[in-house]
Amino acid sequence: MIAAIIRWSIQNRLLVLVLAALVSVWGLYAMRTIPLDAIPDLSDVQVIIKTSYPGQAPQVVEDQVTYPLSTAMLAVPGATAVRSYSFFGDSFVYIIFEDGTDPYWARSRVLEYLSQVSGQLPDEASSSLGPDATGVGWIFEYALVDHSGSRDLSQLRSLQDWFLKYELQTVPGVAEVATVGGMVKQYQVVIDPNLLRLHSLPLSAVKRAIRSANHETGGSVVEMAEAEYLVRSRGYIESIDDLRKIPPLGVGASGASIMLDDIAEIRTGPQMRRGIAELNGEGEVVGGIIVMRFGENALTTIDAVKDKISAIRNSLPKGVELVTTYDRSGLINRAVKTLSQRLLEEFVIVVLVCAVFLYHFRSSLVILISLPVGILAAFILIEQQGVNANIMSLGGIAIAIGAMVDAAIVMIENVHKHLERSGGENRIAAITAAVTEVGSPLFFSLLIITLSFLPVFSLEAQEGRLFTPLAYTKTFAMAAAAGLSITLVPALLVYLVRGHIRNENANPVNRGLIALYQPVIKATLNHPWRVVGLALLLVASSLWPLSQLGAEFMPELDEGDLLYMPTAFPGISIGKARELLQQTDKLIMTVPEVERVFGKVGRAETATDPAPLTMMETTIQLKPRDQWREGMTLEGIKQELDARVQVPSLSNAWLMPIRTRIDMLSTGVNTPVGIRISGPDLEVIQRIGEQIEPIVRTVPGTRSVFSERATSARYIEVDIDRDAAARYAFSVEEIQELINVAVGGVNVTYTVEGRERYPVNLRYPRYVRDSLDAIQNLAIVTSRDEHIQLRDVADIQITNGPAMIRSEDARLSGWVYVNISDRDLGSYVDEAKQVVAERIDLPAGYTVHWTGQYLYLERARERLNVIIPVTLVIILLLLYLSFRNFTESLMVMGAVPLALVGGFWLLYGLGYNLSVAVGVGFIALAGVAAEFGVVMLVYLDEAVRRRQPTTRVAFRAAVAEGAVQRVRPKAMTAAVIIAGLLPVMLGAGTGSEVMRRIAAPMVGGMVTAPLVSMILIPALYYIWQVRRYPEVEK
């Protein structure tokens, strides 16, 4: 069938060229419209439920909101994990779904289960789904700065909340615009408890009066003078004066009406906040975070956001500047530029290599035309599959180019040989015979390379999402190359390979290579068993570097920016957190390579940021590399920053923004290794974590280790005496409402000021709630007009409790965060697990789980251990379909391990660890090595068939001739792959860290892979066939 397709393509070559041109046009369109991003979206399919329960302690939020929601979400179809956080005033529940789940289907199912449990939640708790965004959704951040000094933080916050936020949310692709920092303007009604007692007014009456005074209604219509008039009764609170004039709360002793102004101080002030933003160590600012919708084009969305900002910049008040603090488009453009340059360099090298070896420019044009068409065809499939163009997907094309041109090289070289033999007579017949001879094996060889990537498609979760784009593009590129090798390439050969074809020996490069190879192949065929033994020794030699290589999930990707993410001890006040944030930002700005610092402590107003007040996140924008000090590296900057930013109580972590956010949402930790302790009691969990912390610190390679203090927050606990409350005819609810309103303060209603809305807060003055004694003496007016204190109906004391409560699948959990340095991830965790298991005795009902990037590494290992053997069987079957005998198939399969030896030694020399990226490189190398073996066997079979040997001496000469014929195409292919991948290996720039790990095994393997096809395969072939021939002719 393959031969028939080749003959049809040659007979209809003009039609083939027209179809190739149409494919190229379609491919160019796909390449221009394909979404661009820096890295694949590694985040899980997840839905977030954020529930606000204002003023409530974490334990209250956990008991009344988080636990009911978590247990209900465990039953959601397709959910693999339910991770939850209970903070002061907020609950976050993350439902993680199986890979491949449609995110909008997942959201609908979560809404369905949320509606079932909403009746169990308190009336004051309001639940909502987070944005339809992923962990990489934070694509752009900015800060509002007032250089004139005429606007305070509340005015800047109003500008952000009521103008900028809504303008930017209209941009296509934007799921949410989250605000961070600043102060929300609040109308504060500060009730004097003594005046309440004087007028015998309960607090609930004041609350009711404020709510009822903020209302508007309509009175239908009135018809007058043949016209219709709409009736509207105005009554919104729009200012402090409106609050002061709230209708009478009662009648005083003098008979005068009691207004709100008579019993309270009414003022504006800041609302309680759980997040602060700071810029460059110069003071607080208001920030905004653009969260991109799931599946959108990051670069297009960022460009649209920038255009919108440019359009509305003139609408900002005078003196207010919008400063960009994080822009992922720079990373995207750098990543795409790096890979595009590498592809262009490979392309030029391929053409030059062909011209040097063939001495025929028009033959080089076959590759110059067919290679771009193959790449464009791959882009069509990539775009149709919905794969983004990123460093991984473009990297798949980069590592495929060498193998893509190999088929064309072999065909061109074989055509040259046939034309040399025919003397140029009947050119088309000679080309057809040459192409048909190698077409079928080449097609199956390319299919083998394509199928060799099947294990990559089997990877799951984050590792699958990372490498599947690369596998898709590599597979599509190889599939396109396979199709073009039997259609376009034969047609181009007929058009372009004409005129005088120089003899192979006329080229000094080929002549020199053949001269070097002839004594080698002669010695190989004279001593084939020694060659096999030497090959086994070479394979065995790889055990040494293999035993010395460490293991990691992925090398750290240089995103161009840094994220400083220290963790403070629980119980820190927001005032102290603000001080530490500004202090660390100032220290970071002293490093010359730092351009801008945008710090955040606490959480932004978004469900995608479940950060406690103890967590700081400082985005560090670095200057372009040409402005760095000579010899300075990213690792050097990290070390200098770590040395300068040494603040007591802070545990430093210098991370990458995108990677960290993905890890936080996927595993719950921001460090490479996390230890999750689960059980029924937080105090026991904390005790186990405190025991693990010093043990892990002793493991070599530990840079820092920090165990969460799950119960180290300070509580003022009010324990109601139910008997005492009954004596005063008080219910528990009434006492709790008093504590909630008087001490905590509640937002009773919201003012309506045009398009803006501001809360009206009711609470007692600070002096009656700022100490334990003041709270104990809190005045209460009973329904029987008795005046008592809170201490009369409750026991009030200071205790310890959780600042934040985590749970995994509804089980309470605590975390130990581990940063490592100067050691590979795999061996570190293996040793740490052993040490912890030996020295920690877990109580019944408590478990320890190791997670973080280590989890991905282990999962990938387990998956590949199953899939790789299956893939090898499939490749063996394809080899059988090509050769129609198992001996030659097993010959190729058995020789492949020798090709991997060079890759292992190069990894050892470069100091790289084994990782999934390295594994992908070895898979690609194995496919190319198998293709080398297949083509060599084709040449050997052809030489034996043509020479028709009758003795062992003649057979040896035929094998030697067939092997020598493979010198030029083999040298061309090896040169193309090595020279093509060297720019990837030696190049710098965004994404190069990953691509080097993929390219290294292939570059190293190109030293030993030619030994497979040029030496080992002929030796095995000779051993297999020599018994058929007698020593002398009978």
pLDDT interval class at 87 (50, 70, 90): confident
Span 278-303, pLDDT tens digits = 988 888 899 999 999 887 888 889 99
Cβ–Cβ < 8 Å for 566, 577: no
> Which is more confidently placed, 38 or 21?
21
CATH number for the domain that contains residue 746 = 3.30.2090.10
Q: Is residue 175 part of a domain?
A: no
Same domain, 539 and 438: yes
Same domain, 954 and 919: yes
Confidence (pLDDT) at 77: 92
CATH number for the domain that contains residue 59 = 3.30.70.1430
Same domain, 914 and 775: no
Q: Is residue 611 part of a domain?
A: no
Residue among 6, 244, 225, 84 at smallest CA distance from 808: 84
Confidence (pLDDT) at 107: 92
Q: Is residue 745 part of a domain?
A: yes
Cα distance from N-terminal residue to C-terminal residue, the chain = 40
Cβ–Cβ < 8 Å for 687, 814: no
Confidence (pLDDT) at 660: 78
Mean pLDDT value across residues 657-670: 72
Show which of 762, 777, 801 is a domain's final residue.
801
Confidence (pLDDT) at 254: 63
Confidence (pLDDT) at 288: 92
Alpha-carbon span 94 to 69, nearest angstrom: 10
Residue 346 has pLDDT above 90, yes or no: no
Alpha-carbon span 1002 to 405, nearest angstrom: 16
Same domain, 369 and 250: no
Alpha-carbon span 1012 to 896, nearest angstrom: 7
Same domain, 409 and 482: yes
Same domain, 88 and 226: no
Mean pLDDT value across residues 70-90: 89
Q: Is residue 69 part of a domain?
A: yes
Same domain, 13 and 126: no
Q: Is residue 527 part of a domain?
A: yes
Buried b or exposed e, range 913-941, using 16+ CB within 10 angstroms: bbbbbbbbbbbbbbbbbbbbbbbbbbbbb
Confidence (pLDDT) at 861: 75
Confidence (pLDDT) at 106: 92
pLDDT interval class at 69 (50, 70, 90): very high
Show which of 773, 801, 829 is a domain's final residue.
801
Burial environment of residue 730 by CB neighbours within 10 A (0 to 12, 13 to 18, 19 or more): buried
Span 238-266, pLDDT tens digits = 888 888 888 766 666 566 778 888 888 88
Alpha-carbon span 896 to 445, nearest angstrom: 14
Same domain, 962 and 1009: yes
Q: Is residue 364 part of a domain?
A: yes
Same domain, 364 and 512: yes
Q: Which residue has the tokens 């020598």?
A: 964
Alpha-carbon span 736 to 201, nearest angstrom: 17
Q: Give the DSSP H/E element, type plus range, for residue 915.
A: none
Longest pairwise C-alpha distance within the chain: 140
Q: Is residue 509 part of a domain?
A: yes
Same domain, 25 and 71: no
Same domain, 93 and 11: no
Confidence (pLDDT) at 171: 92
Q: Is residue 503 part of a domain?
A: yes
Mean pLDDT value across residues 202-223: 85
Give, in degrees to the nearest 5, the angle at Cα 774 between 768 and 777. 100
Show which of 132, 153, 170 is a domain's final residue.
132
Span 643-656, pLDDT tens digits = 888 888 777 778 88
Mean pLDDT value across residues 889-917: 81
Same domain, 27 and 73: no
Hey, what's the torsion of the CAs at 1005, 1006, 1012, 1018, to 10 degrees? 180
pLDDT interval class at 81 (50, 70, 90): confident
Q: Provide the 8-state DSSP code for 743.
A: I
CATH number for the domain that contains residue 542 = 1.20.1640.10
Span 223-240, pLDDT tens digits = 888 899 888 888 888 888
DSSP per residue over 553-586, as a string?
Answer: S-PPP--SEEEE--BPPTT--HHHHHHHHHHHHH
Report the chain's mean pLDDT, rounded to a whole number.
Answer: 82
Span 557-615, pLDDT tens digits = 777 788 888 877 777 788 888 888 888 999 999 988 888 899 898 888 888 888 888 78
Residue 14 has pLDDT above 80, yes or no: yes
Mean pLDDT value across residues 952-960: 82
CA distances from 647 to 586, 615, 641, 644, 665 (A): 12, 14, 12, 9, 27
Domain count, the chain: 3
Confidence (pLDDT) at 500: 64
pLDDT interval class at 682 (50, 70, 90): confident
Considering only CA atoms, give the Rg of the chain.
36
pLDDT interval class at 949 (50, 70, 90): confident
Q: How many CB atoms lie within 10 A of CB 426?
A: 12
Q: Which domain holds residue 70?
A: 44-132
Span 847-881, pLDDT tens digits = 888 887 777 777 777 777 777 777 777 777 777 77
